[in-house]
Structure 1
Amino acid sequence: MRQYFAIFVLSLILVFSSCRTDFDTVASTGDLKFSKDTVYLDTVFKNIGSSTYQLKVYNRSKNDISIPTIQFKKGLNSKYRMTVDGMSGTNGKLFKDVTLLAKDSLYIFIETTADITDANPTDFLYTDEIQFDSGTNLQEVALVTLIQDAIFLYPNQNPDGTKEKIKIDGKDVDGFYLSENDPVNGNELLFTKQKPYVIYGYAGVPENKTITFEAGARVHFHANSGLYVGKNASLQINGTTSTTEKLENEVVFEGDRLESLYSDIPGQWKSVIIENGSDNHSINHLTLKNAVTGLDIRNTANTIQLKNTQIYNCVEYGILGQNSKIVGENIVINYAGLASLSCIYGGNYNFTHCTFNNNWQNGSHFAVNLSNSLAGATPETNPLTQATFNNCIIYGSSTNEFNLDINTNTPFVYQLNNCLLKFSSSSTDPNYQFKTDTEHYNNIILNENPRFYNVNQNKFNIDKTSSAFAKGNQAYIIPLDILGITRTSPPDLGAYQSQDFPK
């Protein structure tokens, strides 16, 4: 009996549903509503695809409607493309008879890939409109993209279809050597501020050549790309002090995605590798961000001068020094997955008026790590002949931001003078006796908040309320801070001279 009753009920449902008109649509009357009237697709380089941007379309009426056409004003020639509720239409350009239910909405996702020649020559904007319907029911949403011209540097393609390679760490990787007389780009070893540069793969500096970056140069690295300074090659980064937040005179290294969404995402490109056997390096006023490892400095026999440099948002290290010689002044590093500064396998290091902070999202990181060994190397240890920190701040979000990895069979020489240090764990380890071990620690301010202006925005300025204010030693003073401001006496700790914060 129950079986017959169920069949009867099902039959009634089928009869009544077949008579319903709820799913009949009426033509759109031009009353669509939109989440925005203009979609800005941020800035992109010519011929590099943009991110995907979203537009939401609403039907506020009580009727299910059919939109006869959704298309670009420039038709099938548009440099934009879209999907409508997951449908690709005709080449992502034209959609017909799109149903939108009563009190419902649909999503449109928009992308573009355009050349500088497609843009308006006066403002370099590429524009179009999404048109909904036509005639008296026509509604439009504007699309705007800024196309930026650039110099593109990339590996050549071999006759067999493979890409040009260079050898790094004994492996062939996609890359190429820069040329002084490239038939298209001219001197590729001189980077100017005239246009930004976009690098695909590793750009190598040939043996016995010097690569120079002039003040204001902008270099954008594609995914898995970087700069390789090999045997007998030299690196000269000649940025100068900027007067605005645009960093107009800095040399800037970052990824090639210009959209604001990517401004602080780590790991967008690989690294600057300064290889064993290279020589005569100087880095001044460099801002480097969003790499895997910022500066990978390997077994450099002669001293690298590193000044007024900022490094942010690196997956592994801001600076990784391996048995190298580095003199650093006014250095700022933040957000690194392993360590902001890691000096391993020995070497010789001297840092003055530097701010090494690490606010990486997990707790297993350091602001500064020192070691005289390297697993798997031959030999596994090298002497750390000097690691000196003067008037520095070593801080971050972890409990202990300073780490020593000491092989007692090999020399390990280090000293911190007039530094603010975060090390919250009580320790009986003789290497961390900050108040009583005067051989290694002098005038240490322990676990006091430096009160940076805004750590999340990588703004490490301090004011007079900071525990680092006027706590430096005049004997170690660098006369100008990272912004070119004259330091007072006694100097503040870290890379910044204190100023009043804006209200």
Structure 2
Amino acid sequence: MKRLLSFFICFGILLFWSSCRNDFEFSPSTGNLEFAKDTIYLDTVFTNIGSSTYNLKVYNRSDDDIVIPTIQFENGINSFYRMNVDGQTGLEGEQEGKFFENVELLANDSLYIFIETTIDISSIGSFYNQFLYTDKILFDAGSNQQNVEVVTLVKDAIFIYPAKDEETNIIETLTFDVDGDGTPDETTLQGRFLDDSELTFTNNKPYVIYGYAGVAEGKTLTMQAGARVHFHADSGIIVTNNASLHINGAYSPNQETLDNEVILEGDRLEPLYEDIPGQWGTIWLYNGSDNNTINYATIKNATIGILAEGNQTSAEDKLTITNSQIYNVSSFGILGRATSITAENVVINNCGQSSFAGTFGGKYNFTHCTIANYWNSSFRDYPALLINDYFIDEDNTIFTNNLTAANFNNCIIYGNDNPEFTIEKQGSVFNYKFSNCLLRFNNETLADTENYNFDNVTHYENNRFNEDPDFEDPFENLMRIGEDSGAISINTITFGVESDILGASRLGAIDAGAYNRTSFDD
């Protein structure tokens, strides 16, 4: 009886409360909506590639519950934009995402509109490589109509992607001689080899690569000054046996736009993705590729910036890289395996593991390079610089290979960890030397051990330790050194690198690293 009485009391309260409510009576909007912004910029997208999702917040500041009769794009069903209003997709059919009716909005409340786009620049009839596409979101009509502009810059591009079997959805993979026995091997790498007509990347349009673009045996891929190359997730370039990569960038007077440099990065152009590591794979200089050259390139946001393997004893270096930058890489900036690399005026920074790792022996000569690591996105296991002459297989068997040379002249090797270089020796031939370098090393456990005897001029000569390099802003990859840098006037010998990465002459008492000292007000 008590339970029944309680039920009737609660029912009566609910009935009384609901009879007093009038907030289900919606009035038509009167053109007094407020918006978080009057223009939605969807930043830059490539033709036929979907954008990120952007949002617009709409406010009803009145004390009345209102209904918005219509929300639609000015271009109607022909709009390249699509939207979602508080989780709703609008009318069905061709108006889905384009047209909404009787959208309710409570008093002093708000709703979200989410906007995306995919635009085919050719369907706009544009004769240019980029086009500013605009539309408006219209709220209501007639005298009550309000609108918000929507703007997107669309870029045309050259797309390189593997074939796909429409029936099986199997994507083409690369087949080439992996083990050097002269017989092509099937791989699981999605991609295809470039046609002869595709072996020169110009600066006319950006290139967007899906999967791995392969350079076949005996071929050379050339990238001209000003080329822009964008990679989709898990994509990259692979240079196979007797093939070469030549990146022929040039100095750019405008350091903001880097017009003449070759820039290699991910295919997401929105500012949110500008500095996100690991968006694409790597530039893979496979065992057997040779005579690879890179000049004035910026390589960023990869998993491994450059992976170079083999050709340790070739007459020409596997890779010669000059006047270039590598940063925001989720693993290694440059990873060498039993290979040969010459680097001059190279800056590497912000890598999830080492900025440069010369592993399983090899031959490395770095001059006036800034090998730094100010990674702060997670814990890293390795220092900015790692040198070793071995690898360990799954059975814990150690294999060694000669380190014929690892010379670092007039370099800065620094970072936000300590120490920032590691020397690991297992074999008998292990030649390395640091000359006129600014080094970060302050470790009592390792100090004075065989590999870190800094009084041994065979391996260390005229170096400075643990002095502030006075970088402009290493966490933002601004690696110029200031007038208080410990790298200033470290030597009078340039080792043949007469200008810094910005083309300024090195005269008199010269500074370590890729940059001459500067005033940051310049």
TM-score by length of 1: 0.95
* Distance of 2:103 and 2:442 partners within structure 1: 62
* Distance of 1:488 and 1:477 partners within structure 2: 12
Aligned: 1:223 with 2:241 = no
- Alignment of structure 1 residues 16-415 onto 2, 5 Å: 16-19=16-19, 20-90=21-91, 91-119=96-124, 121=126, 124-158=131-165, 160-161=167-168, 162-167=170-175, 171-180=187-196, 187-244=197-254, 245-300=256-311, 301=314, 302-303=316-317, 304-361=319-376, 362-376=379-393, 380-407=399-426, 409-415=427-433
For residues 161-190 of structure 1, the C-alpha deviation after alignment (integer angstroms, 9 at most, x for no partner) is 42221047663221111111xxxxxx2000
The amino acid across from 1:206 in the alignment is A
Q: Secondary structure at the match of 1:453?
A: strand
* Distance of 2:456 and 2:2 partners within structure 1: 89
The amino acid across from 1:372 in the alignment is D
* Distance of 2:121 and 2:300 partners within structure 1: 26
* Distance of 1:318 and 1:136 partners within structure 2: 59
For residues 119-151 of structure 1, the C-alpha deviation after alignment (integer angstroms, 9 at most, x for no partner) is 574771111111111111111000000000111
Q: Secondary structure at the match of 1:317?
A: coil
Contact persistence 2:480–2:515 (CA under 8 A): yes
For residues 413-462 of structure 1, the C-alpha deviation after alignment (integer angstroms, 9 at most, x for no partner) is 11101111112222345145454232211122111110101112211111
* Distance of 2:151 and 2:29 partners within structure 1: 26
Contact persistence 2:361–2:390 (CA under 8 A): yes
Contact persistence 2:278–2:302 (CA under 8 A): yes
**Residues 125 and 403 of structure 1: CA distance in aligned 2, closer, same or farther (over 3 Å):** same
Contact persistence 1:118–1:126 (CA under 8 A): no
Contact persistence 1:236–1:281 (CA under 8 A): yes
Q: Secondary structure at the match of 2:306?
A: strand
* Distance of 1:477 and 1:465 partners within structure 2: 25
* Distance of 2:276 and 2:125 partners within structure 1: 31
* Distance of 1:50 and 1:398 partners within structure 2: 37
For residues 242-269 of structure 1, the C-alpha deviation after alignment (integer angstroms, 9 at most, x for no partner) is 1002111111110111111111001111
Q: Secondary structure at the match of 1:374?
A: strand
Contact persistence 2:383–2:418 (CA under 8 A): no
Give unmatched runs, 5+ long, in structure 2. 179-185
* Distance of 1:364 and 1:379 partners within structure 2: 20
Q: Which residue of 2 aligns with 1:423?
A: 441
Q: Secondary structure at the match of 2:508?
A: coil
* Distance of 2:401 and 2:322 partners within structure 1: 26
**Residues 396 and 290 of structure 1: CA distance in aligned 2, closer, same or farther (over 3 Å):** same
* Distance of 2:504 and 2:242 partners within structure 1: 36
* Distance of 1:165 and 1:13 partners within structure 2: 69
Q: Which residue of 2 aligns with 1:183?
A: none
* Distance of 1:250 and 1:307 partners within structure 2: 12
Contact persistence 1:321–1:343 (CA under 8 A): yes
TM-score by length of 2: 0.91
Contact persistence 2:83–2:89 (CA under 8 A): yes
* Distance of 2:113 and 2:468 partners within structure 1: 48
Aligned mate of 2:491, from 461, 467, 472: 472
Q: Which residue of 1 aligns with 2:183?
A: none
Deviation at 1:6, TM superposition (A): 2.6
- Alignment of structure 1 residues 457-496 onto 2, 5 Å: 457-474=476-493, 476=495, 478-496=497-515
* Distance of 1:222 and 1:154 partners within structure 2: 10
The amino acid across from 1:95 in the alignment is F
Contact persistence 1:353–1:477 (CA under 8 A): no
Q: Secondary structure at the match of 2:143?
A: helix
Contact persistence 2:436–2:463 (CA under 8 A): yes
Give unmatched runs, 5+ long, in structure 1. 181-186
Deviation at 1:18, TM superposition (A): 2.9
The aligned length equals: 496
Deviation at 1:159, TM superposition (A): 6.8
Contact persistence 2:230–2:267 (CA under 8 A): yes
Q: Secondary structure at the match of 1:12?
A: helix
Deviation at 1:87, TM superposition (A): 1.4
Contact persistence 2:375–2:475 (CA under 8 A): no
The amino acid across from 1:283 in the alignment is I
* Distance of 2:139 and 2:116 partners within structure 1: 18
